[in-house]
Amino acid sequence: MSLRLVFMGTPDFAVPVLEAFLGAGDTVAAVYSQPPRPAGRGHKLTPSPVQAAAERHGLAVRHPVSLKTAEAQAEFAALAADAAIVVAYGLILPQTVLDAPKFGCFNLHASLLPRWRGAAPIQRAIMAGDAETGVCAMQMDAGLDTGPVLACEKVAIGPRMTVSDLHDELARIGAPLMVRAMHDFAAGRIAPQPQPADGVTYAAKLARDEGRIDWTQPAAAIDRAVRALNPGPGTFFELNGERIKLLAAEPVAGSGAPGTLLDDAGTVACGDGALKLVRLQRPGKGPVPVQAFLNGHPLPRGTRLA
């Protein structure tokens, strides 16, 4: 059965889901996305990835500032959708909007609910050292990712997996999962299941200063932060008054006072173990391998990083 949908999303994570529904033959009556934002050195207004994809398919795109007004809610209801598909949209949906489509509103969430409800589930799963995560198709309610779940799929988090790697894998498996779950639900083949009360965690929004490296932490924890927080908001340390971005690293054997360089090749002692610096970036410069960085800025053994 073909569904009449409203699609609500903004970042590139949402694009495969939009295209999967179009590929399945569903009708997208309208796309809702955050408005174009200044980007690049010229601060040119740039449409979101979802808007760009929608326009390639000739779909109408809307950018309401809020969905809380009677006018915005009436325009949404007039679309007479079977369901709204929401993927990292960026606006809160009031109850009136949640109730407007025939079947309701449904979200693709990048975690195995109820673990990592909230804004940054992919990054938090890596930072916590989780062995696995996944995606869930859920029916939305007024709470924060608290609605009943239609279907989930798991993904192992590899020991060197970065946030970009995991993001792409979750987007890849999430798109067909969402299409399959919605069609099964509309046909009465599956029913939403309440989330368990146990195991709830919250993936708080990432703060800029979370990227400041604390060398007293275990090397494994710092490594996870580097893999989770780059490219944004980024991990960094202070050196000679400069904020140096640490873009890649790997745990290695070693011990010493935390933050101390153990050799001339960029191995830093941590609270437990050591971390080999792999790729660095100075302010206003491009990323470089550690050896290129050290060629221009030698850091002798015993140097302390803040």
Known binding-site residues for (6S)-5,6,7,8-tetrahydrofolate equal 111-114
Known binding-site residues equal 111-114
CA atoms within 13 Å, Cβ hemisphere of 287: 11
Rounded CA gap, 280 and 295, in Å? 12
Residue with tokens 């990835």: 49
Packing angle, helices 219-229 and 163-186, rounded to 10: 60
Query: Could you tell me where the DSSP H helices lie in 11-140?
Result: 15-23, 49-56, 70-77, 95-99, 121-127
Rounded CA gap, 73 and 98, in Å? 10
Tell me the CA end-to-end span of the chain in Å, nearest whole number.
60
Rounded CA gap, 24 and 3, in Å? 9
Two tokens, residue 143: 């709470």
Residue with tokens 């598909």: 85
